[in-house]
Amino acid sequence: MIFITAKFTILPEFADQWPEISAEFSEATRGEEGCMWFEWARNTRNPNEYFVVEAFRDQDAGVAHVQSEHFKKATQTLPNYLAETPAVVNMTVDQD
Residue 30's nearest CA partner among 67, 59, 5, 55 is 55
**pLDDT at res. 45:** 98
pLDDT band at 96 (very low <50, low <70, confident <90, very high): confident
Q: pTM for the whole thing?
A: 0.92
Q: What is the spatial distance between Cα 29 and Cα 70, in angstroms, rounded to a whole number? A: 8
Rg (CA), the chain: 13
**pLDDT at res. 95:** 81
Per-residue pLDDT tens digits for 22-66: 999 999 999 999 999 999 999 999 999 999 999 999 999 999 999
